Amino acid sequence: MEEVKKKRMLSGIQPSGDLHLGNYLGAIVNWAERTEEYDCFYFMADLHTITVRQDPAELRKRSLNQLAQYIACGLDPEKNVLFLQSMVPAHSQLSWVLNCYTMFGELQRMTQFKDKSEKHRDNINAGLFTYPVLMAADILLYQADFVPVGEDQKQHVEITRDIAERFNGIYGDVFKVPTPLIAKTGARIYGLSTPEDKMSKSVPDGCVFLMDEPDVIRKKFKRAVTDSDTGRCVYYDREKKPGVANLMNIYSTLTGKTYEEIEKEFEGKGYGDFKPAVAEAVVEKLTPIREEASRLIKDKAYLSDVYKQGAERASYVANRTLSKVYKKVGFLQI
C-alpha cells in the first residue's frame, strides 16, 4: 500500500528573549499537537533577530535555551526538524533572489515595519524594511503547505503568497503557495498589564515566561489588570473587560473549559478567587516544562547534536529548492 505523503508545516520564533506563555499557548502547543499529522519544520529565527542590535553572547545563549524549551514543550527532535535559521545559508541566499521579485510598495504597506520603526527610531535599517522577504524565503524554501500564525502575522503569509505567485508566473511551478493556519483558540494571548496588546517580552511585568518560578507567576497574575466591576465580575466581554477576557482565554485554553463553564465556576466570586485559579493552572502547566528545559540546558552536547542534525535535515530540503531557483534565474552552479 502506497504511503500517504504528509503535508508540510513550518514556523519559527525569534530568540530575542525567553519564550513566554503567549508563544506557548498561541503557537508551540499547537505545533506539538500536529507532530504526527504533518511533516514539521520549526526553527529559531536568529537572522530576523539582528534587525535590532543584540549582544552576541546573549543571542547564542538564548538560541540554545529556546531550543531546549522547544523540546521541553513537546517538540520531539526525532519527529520534528528543529534548527537554527542562520545554520542554513539557503535562507539568506533565497532572500536576496526574492528581494528582486518583491515590490517596494508591498514592503511599505507592511504594518510591522511601521510599528518597529516607531520603537527603534535610532536603527531603522534596511533589514527591518526587507525582513518580510526573508520570512518569505523561510517559508518557500521548504515548500510548506501550511504556516501556523496568529492573526497579526497573517499579512506576512499573504506577501509570501504574492511573491511565490509572481515568481511562478514568470518561471513556472517553482514554489508551493502556502496557506496560513490560524488556531481557533488561544491564538492571541495578551499582556497581563496591557490587555489591549499582545503579550510581549518587551513588557516583562505583564509577561509570563516559561522559565518563571511558580511564585513569580503567582505574583504576576495577582497584579494582572482586570477592571472595577463590582457586579457579576467574571464574564467574557473583550471590548469592555479586556483584562478579564484575556484571563478567561488563558484559563479556557489550559483547562479546556468553555467561557460559559468558567462563568458558572466563578459565579458570585470576585477576582480574588479568579486570578489565583488562573495562576495555578499556569503553574501546573509550566512547571514540568521549566524543569525539563533546565535539565536540557545543562546538556550542551545533546543540544549540539540536535541543532546539527536539524541543520543537516533542513539544508537537504532547502538546497533542493534553492538549486531549482538558481537554475530558473540563470545562475551557473557547481
pLDDT digits (tens, 9 = 90+) for 51-73: 989 999 999 999 999 999 999 99
Radius of gyration of the chain (CA): 21
Mean pLDDT of 133-144: 97
Q: Please write the tens of the pLDDT for every residue from 24-44.
A: 998 899 898 899 999 999 999
Taking alpha carbons only, the member of 291, 246, 300, 308 closest to residue 271 is 246
Q: Is the pLDDT of residue 92 over 50?
A: yes
Q: Is-contact 66 44, C-beta < 8 A?
A: yes
DSSP line for 196-222: TSB--TTSGGG--BTT--HHHHHHHHH
Report the pLDDT value the prediction gives residue 247, as an integer from 0 to 100: 95
Mean pLDDT of 294-310: 97
Domains 8-187+300-329 and 211-294 share a fold: no
- The pTM assigned to this predicted structure is 0.91
Dihedral, 194, 199, 205, 209 alpha carbons, nearest 10? 160
* CATH code, residues 211-294: 1.10.240.10
Report the pLDDT value the prediction gives residue 2, as an integer from 0 to 100: 45
Q: Is the pLDDT of residue 121 over 90?
A: no
Annotated catalytic residue, options 7, 176, 198, 257: 198
Q: Is the pLDDT of residue 290 over 50?
A: yes
Report the pLDDT value the prediction gives residue 266, as an integer from 0 to 100: 93
Q: Please write the tens of the pLDDT for every residue from 166-217.
A: 999 999 999 999 998 876 555 689 999 999 998 988 888 899 999 999 999 9
119 is an active site residue: no
315 burial via Cβ count (<10 Å: 0-12, 13-18, 19+): middle
The Cα 84–Cα 12 span in angstroms is: 9
198 is an active site residue: yes
- The pairs formed by 159-166 with CB atoms below 8 angstroms and a separation of 24 or more are 159/102, 159/106, 159/110, 159/132, 160/132, 160/135, 160/136, 162/106, 163/98, 163/101, 163/102, 163/133, 163/136, 164/136, 164/140, 166/101
Q: Is the pLDDT of residue 312 over 70?
A: yes
* Domain limits, the chain: 8-187+300-329, 211-294
pLDDT band at 229 (very low <50, low <70, confident <90, very high): low
pLDDT band at 4 (very low <50, low <70, confident <90, very high): low
Report the pLDDT value the prediction gives residue 89, as an integer from 0 to 100: 98
Q: Is-contact 328 174, C-beta < 8 A?
A: yes
Does the domain at 8-187+300-329 match CATH 3.40.1050.10? Answer given as no
Taking alpha carbons only, the member of 295, 291, 296, 282 closest to residue 25 is 282
The Cα 4–Cα 296 span in angstroms is: 34
**Strand 80-84 to strand 179-181: parallel, antiparallel, or no bridges (unpaired)?**
unpaired
Taking alpha carbons only, the member of 49, 54, 55, 44 closest to residue 11 is 44
Report the pLDDT value the prediction gives residue 1, as an integer from 0 to 100: 39
| Mean pLDDT score of the chain | 91
Which percentage of the chain shows pLDDT scores above 70? 95
pLDDT band at 144 (very low <50, low <70, confident <90, very high): very high
114 is an active site residue: no
Task: Look at 187 and 129; give whichever has higher pLDDT.
Answer: 129
Annotated catalytic residue, options 7, 201, 219, 328: 201
pLDDT band at 232 (very low <50, low <70, confident <90, very high): low
